[in-house]
Structure 1
Amino acid sequence: MTQLSWQDATIEWFGATTFRLQAKGLTIFLDTWLERPSVMPTFLRIDEVTHADYIFISHAHFDHLPGCDRLAKQTGAIVIANGEAINVLRGAGVPEEQLLPVAGGERIPLFLSKTRQDATGGKCRLAGGPPGAPPLPHSDLAVAEVHVWPSLHCLLPGQSHADIPDVMDTGTKYSGSSPYACTIDITRGMRYGLLRLGEIVPAERLDDGEKSFVEYVADTKRNVMSNFDGGQLCFSLLVDERTLCWNGHLGGYSAILQTIRPQPDVLIQAIAGRANIDGWPFDGSAAEAASDICRWLGQPQRVIWCLHDDAPIKPWRIDTKAATEMVEAVTKSRIHSLDHAVKVKVFPS
């Protein structure tokens, strides 16, 4: 049998921050927003997915978590997510043994599904654990690993959703804010604004995208989510000697980003919104913030933008030109663009 290595790793993008990675025999989903509001294209239906080993969830919002419960129950994948997302999934009936709550700072060995099955049957070397805990393979049997880090959700560029432009330019500079501006504003905006859009705005004033969004979030049984992000997470996947870092929003803690080791060869970076650095609204543009993040992470060889394509509500898309030009001008990183549902190699040779 041919030994799989980092050179065989592939990635597919299904919109927003949802990706499928295949590496070392593992299939890993990054977020699970596959089936989206009706106005948006669906590139992969959940019932078309026949295998997944792990699901990493960046946070619990409507465009990241929905679909995770159905995908996990269908495939038996282990879900690695924050406590808010885990509680939502538990309430949706995902078995406890598939739920792995994290808060950032964890280093987790990743196993093939067969190895996990062997552990359940006592057919492989096991890790230690308390009596009654589900059997876990010994870390020596892992084929890859993931490091989880605390991160931050981006912020709104204005005082309210009404200030958001139709198309957000990553070159637009922002400055000033309330001294209390933080992700609490995002949570309140979700709970009392965005997720109540159908109650607040008369139906005749909603455009087609907004109508489809209202219908989507109203179906809480099928589309599980929370108004609270639960604590944004950043994931570093280590495959042999190569590392991919996935940061599903334009934010983070500078000290953490500067000390992540190993530094990534590939960075998947969300580029929407006003950057949230160290808990403060970033004074400057998304392009400048992304350039800082690239520098802090050691100038990854390849950068892949996400959360910049068409959306059902404003901003309807993100103009990444300024961010691409600045990152390539001030760092050694190079932007690698993906088309939806097209499988490509993850790591540059």
Structure 2
Amino acid sequence: MTNTTIEWFGTTTFRLRTGGVTIFLDTWLDRPSVLPQYLAVSDVAEADYIFISHAHFDHLPGADRIAIRTGAIVVANCEAINLLRVAGVPEEQLLPVSGGERIPLFTRTVRDQAKRDEVSTAAALPDQPKTPHHSLAVLSVHVWPSLHAFLPNPHPDVMDTQTVYTGGTTPYACTLDITHGMKYGLLQLEKLVPKEHMNDGMRSFTNYVNDRKTNVLSHCDGGQLMFNLIINGNGLLWNAHLGAYEGIVSRIEPKPKIAILGIAGRANHDGRPFDGSAAQFAVKQLHWLDQPETVIWCMHDESCIAPYKVDITGAMISVEQETTSSILALTPGQQTNLYL
């Protein structure tokens, strides 16, 4: 059994330590001033790999600074990779993916030895950076396409995972609406809400997203990804948003022992708004995954813009009553042992 620890820093950002490797799942550590901060980007001294779910403001920022400081390899979609390249992350640390990839992961020591030809290396083209042979990997990751959640309009102040949503505003509702809403709405909030009507959270958010020198982000998610980390033969799946392709999730192998799942928003089922509640969709995901032993929620903590909170009570009750999975509640900033 491999000793694995996890820390949650809010929203969808986690740090995993396993097999001598330090991994970040998203990097939204430096956040708008009204939100609690559990770890500053400037305090991250060690990272071997960074996995980015997508390129939005609450997932990608910080990845460039952590990668440049630590030498971490960033695995992300092309939208995120292009932004990180412009931000100065060295090319040999950028690994663009779109889903379907299987990637061996190595300790920093082995990666450095490969650069010096001290260990076996993978076959490579003349200018391709040297990487260790896959037999030296301590774990691996399988990358899969996923989907960004929808948000009901108008946004409720509190999003209840028991609330049932049906139908769509048009027959063409899709994540393109999220992209347009982000570009012309959320990221231009100051044009839509008069200054005198802005609350502290809105002002904090606007200041944050307008600081593009510090915060690397895009209005386009670039293609949502999920990652199944294979640790000691066991899967740990991270799907950062409440969306999924049923045909992909139901066929993931190995089935995860632990599933980290986004629980906020209206679910996105195969690219269409899900008729039902977030709780009902979460239960579906868990059955597609053969009911992992442990479920960890994410994307449900405090926000500086509406929805300000997510009530996970309904999702917790549904999982307990309709699956054999158990929920593990993480305290932000606190290290927890995982048994894999």
Q: TM-score, normalised by structure 1?
A: 0.96
Are 1:45 and 2:45 an aligned pair? Answer: no
Partner of 1:252: 244
State how far apart, in whole Å, the 2-side matches of 1:241 and 1:344 are: 20
Partner of 1:204: 196
Partner of 1:189: 181
| Cα deviation 1:57-97 (Å, max 9, x = unaligned) | 00000000001100110110000000000001011110000
SS of residue in 1 equivalent to 2:256: coil
Are 1:320 and 2:312 an aligned pair? Answer: yes
- Among residues 159, 162, 165, which one is paired with 1:168 in the alignment? 159
Tell whether the 8 Å contact from 1:14 to 1:34 is kept in structure 2 after alignment: yes
SS of residue in 2 equivalent to 1:226: coil
SS of residue in 2 equivalent to 1:9: strand
Partner of 1:94: 89
Q: Which one-letter code corresponds to 2:209 in the other structure?
A: V
State how far apart, in whole Å, the 1-side matches of 2:92 and 2:309 are: 38
Q: How does 1:305-344 map to 2 (within 5 A)?
A: 305-344=297-336
Q: TM-score, normalised by structure 2?
A: 0.99
Gaps of 5+ in 1: none
Q: Give the ranges of 4+ consecutive aligned residues of structure 1 lying more than 6 Å apart after TM superposition.
A: none
Q: Which one is further off, 339-348 or 187-196?
A: 339-348
Tell whether the 8 Å contact from 1:266 to 1:347 is kept in structure 2 after alignment: no
Q: How does 1:7-156 map to 2 (within 5 A)?
A: 8-156=3-151
Q: Which one-letter code corresponds to 1:26 in the other structure?
A: V
Tell whether the 8 Å contact from 1:81 to 1:100 is kept in structure 2 after alignment: yes
Cα-Cα RMSD: 0.8
SS of residue in 1 equivalent to 2:36: coil
Compute the displacement of 1:347 (Å).
Answer: 2.7
| Cα deviation 1:109-166 (Å, max 9, x = unaligned) | 00011111111111110100111110010000000000000000001123xxxx1111
Q: Which one-letter code corresponds to 1:52 in the other structure?
A: A
Aligned residues: 339
Compute the displacement of 1:200 (Å).
Answer: 2.2
State how far apart, in whole Å, the 2-side matches of 1:195 and 1:137 are: 42
SS of residue in 1 equivalent to 2:236: strand
- Among residues 233, 244, 248, which one is paired with 2:225 in the alignment? 233
SS of residue in 1 equivalent to 2:142: strand
Tell whether the 8 Å contact from 1:291 to 1:330 is kept in structure 2 after alignment: yes
Compute the displacement of 1:241 (Å).
Answer: 2.3
